[in-house]
Chains A and B, each alone.
Chain A
């Protein structure tokens, strides 16, 4: 895998998420007022408007909701890469995140909707944030 783009800071909403990634934690938020699961990270609950959100740690297991296999991407870091997947993963706690399913022989054949997957924190270059990706269970 080529070097993935890194998150950029300062950025207040996603700071805790990426601190979690450094510690091997997949973090999400829950609304203290209405118990809605909140993802992507933000400062308020999109369901009730409350700003009382608590960070939670996911078990990191979920299901592939949908995916594509990118055969062509002209962005530096991806331009010379073979086919790779992008996917929406439905985590068991009830949030959906964009990620990639890795660790399969042929992404055009070995990934499927409904597949069970587990998070893995893919190491990047020294000092970089590891990137949460998913592997088939």
Chain B
């Protein structure tokens, strides 16, 4: 039983890793984020002063 539970935990972790990789493989970011952090087409981050 203990072995089964350990294998179940392993399978759970693998499923978690695969889920994160599948979910995250496509970027769902704002244009500003993509321009600055990914494509580097802008050199200044625009923000609202508080």
**Do A and B make up one complex?**
no
